[in-house]
């Protein structure tokens, strides 16, 4: 049944009132909230299942074949200990044995001639660590286990280094220009997108920060025309220009990178930091992009997961349309808010903080 314009407005207003009443009611107590989302709404169920699948995978990895997530996280913690302004003489004793174990399993999984950069980094950081930190039985035991694997005479290189003077080769004005040049682009030339250019942009994206350097983000890129078209129709916000997208990318996050439920949002933060750098880098190689919302809609989520067969603990974060921009196509003006609305300093709601006191 098709509603007339007026009936549609009435129906929508009634729905909003009903929704507000429900939300108001369940907000009265966390028990109401829990009951509502357990029995009356499936909104969070897929996310919860993905978080659980991620935790199970993480725990399995701890025992069986450690993923790079675990090695990265522990090596990162050791590096952090090595760069602290007030370095403790002994640190990482609780997890150094585990870390050497992860490292051992990692080198067993790859050929010695072609160790991944991350394994070389782990080895170098461990060498550096054992050179500086000792004097504890647990650390001595781990050191022994590590040097049983280590050929003598290797000079570690991928280790903490002096940051040096702040001397950026990119001026503020250049970065401002690049930020302004990047516009969500919805009209692309009908021209294939060279993968080597996309890879160049990804080489920049990989420099983005991530929680404990876990790097939970993955870029699933589609440029085969039929597949690309199919993928472009999944995010609802691209339907009106899906046929015009020559390449599409799903940015996903792997929840098995995390051990606690409390970290479930980290994949989204990691993914978005990386995606932003990626989109800026695409501009520098002559390409344009449009970020696309990935709404948590059960049927669409399922379709995406089953189509490409991703594991349950990997979640879509957003999609990005990529292509050569059509110079004859328009982009939106999209005015930004004023600085005063964007930020505040020392603001505590309902309390005045004297500016005088804050002047350093």
Using CA atoms, how far residue 247 sits from 206, 221, 238, in Å, is: 20, 7, 13
Which listed range, 58-66, 137-145, 182-190, 242-250, lies at the site for ligand FMN (CB under 6 A)? Answer: 182-190
Site membership for ligand FMN, residue 344 (CB under 6 A): no
Place of tokens 């996903």: 252
As a whole number of Å, the CA-based R_g of the chain is 25
Contact in structure between 107 and 62 (CB atoms under 8 Å): no
Residue 115 CA to residue 244 CA, distance in Å, equals 41
When the beta carbons of 215 and 232 are compared against ligand FMN, the nearer one is: 232
Site membership for ligand FMN, residue 7 (CB under 6 A): no
Site membership for ligand FMN, residue 246 (CB under 6 A): no
Q: How many CB atoms lie within 10 A of CB 194?
A: 15
Which listed range, 29-37, 67-75, 247-255, 284-292, lies at the site for ligand FMN (CB under 6 A)? Answer: 284-292
DSSP 66: -
When the beta carbons of 45 and 236 are compared against ligand FMN, the nearer one is: 236
When the beta carbons of 51 and 292 are compared against ligand FMN, the nearer one is: 292
Site membership for ligand FMN, residue 218 (CB under 6 A): no
DSSP 37: I
SS3 258: coil
Site membership for ligand FMN, residue 284 (CB under 6 A): no
Strand-by-strand arrangement of the 217-222 sheet? 217-222, 247-254, 314-323, 288-293
Residue 253 CA to residue 219 CA, distance in Å, equals 9
Site membership for ligand FMN, residue 248 (CB under 6 A): no
Q: Is 350 exposed, middle or buried (0-12, 13-18, 19+ CB in 10 A)?
A: exposed
Q: Torsion angle of alpha carbons 52, 119, 278, 233, nearest 10°? A: -40
One of 81, 237, 311, 329 touching ligand FMN (CB under 6 A): 237
Site membership for ligand FMN, residue 342 (CB under 6 A): no
Site membership for ligand FMN, residue 308 (CB under 6 A): no
Site membership for ligand FMN, residue 235 (CB under 6 A): yes
For the CB of residue 250, give the shortest distance to ligand FMN in the complex, in Å: 13
Site membership for ligand FMN, residue 184 (CB under 6 A): yes
Site membership for ligand FMN, residue 290 (CB under 6 A): yes
Site membership for ligand FMN, residue 293 (CB under 6 A): yes
One of 111, 332, 344, 354 touching ligand FMN (CB under 6 A): 332
Site membership for ligand FMN, residue 350 (CB under 6 A): no
One of 334, 350, 354, 356 touching ligand FMN (CB under 6 A): 334
- Name which of 345, 196, 348, 178 is nearest 276 in CA terms: 178
Q: Using CB under 6 A as the criterion, which residues of the chain lie in contact with ligand FMN when the complex forms?
A: 183-184, 186, 235, 237-238, 290-293, 318, 331-332, 334
């Amino acid at each position: 049944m098709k509603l007339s314009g007026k009936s549609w407005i009435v129906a929508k207003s009634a729905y909003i009132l009903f929704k507000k009443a429900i939300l108001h009611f369940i907000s009265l107590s966390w028990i109401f909230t829990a009951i509502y989302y357990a029995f009356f709404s499936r909104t969070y169920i897929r996310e919860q299942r993905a978080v659980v699948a991620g935790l199970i995978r993480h725990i399995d990895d701890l025992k069986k074949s450690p993923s790079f997530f675990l090695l990265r996280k522990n090596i990162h913690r050791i590096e952090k200990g090595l760069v602290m302004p007030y370095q403790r003489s002994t640190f990482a004793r609780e997890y150094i044995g585990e870390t050497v174990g992860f490292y051992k399993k990692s080198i067993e999984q790859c050929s010695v001639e072609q160790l991944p950069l991350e394994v070389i980094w782990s080895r170098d950081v461990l060498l550096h660590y054992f050179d500086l930190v000792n004097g504890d039985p647990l650390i001595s035991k781990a050191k022994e286990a590590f040097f049983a694997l280590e050929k003598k005479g290797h000079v570690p290189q991928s280790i903490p280094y002096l940051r040096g003077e702040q001397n950026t080769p990119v001026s503020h004005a250049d970065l401002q220009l690049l930020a302004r040049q990047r516009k969500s682009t919805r009209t692309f030339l009908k021209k294939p997108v060279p993968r080597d250019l996309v890879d160049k942009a990804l080489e920049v994206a990989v420099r983005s920060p991530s929680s404990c350097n876990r790097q939970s983000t993955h870029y699933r890129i589609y440029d085969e025309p039929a597949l690309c078209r199919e993928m472009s129709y999944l995010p609802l916000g691209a339907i009106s220009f899906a046929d015009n997208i020559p390449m599409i990318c799903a940015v996903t996050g792997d929840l098995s990178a995390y051990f606690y439920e409390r970290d479930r949002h980290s994949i989204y933060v990691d993914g978005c930091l990386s995606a932003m750098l990626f989109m800026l880098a695409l501009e520098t190689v002559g390409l344009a992009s449009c970020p696309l919302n990935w709404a948590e809609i059960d049927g669409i989520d399922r379709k995406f997961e089953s189509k490409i067969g991703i594991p349950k603990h990997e979640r879509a974060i957003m999609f990005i349309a990529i292509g050569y921009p059509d110079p004859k196509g328009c982009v939106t003006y999209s005015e930004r808010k004023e600085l005063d609305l964007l930020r505040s300093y020392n603001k505590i709601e309902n309390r005045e903080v004297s500016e005088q006191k804050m002047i350093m």
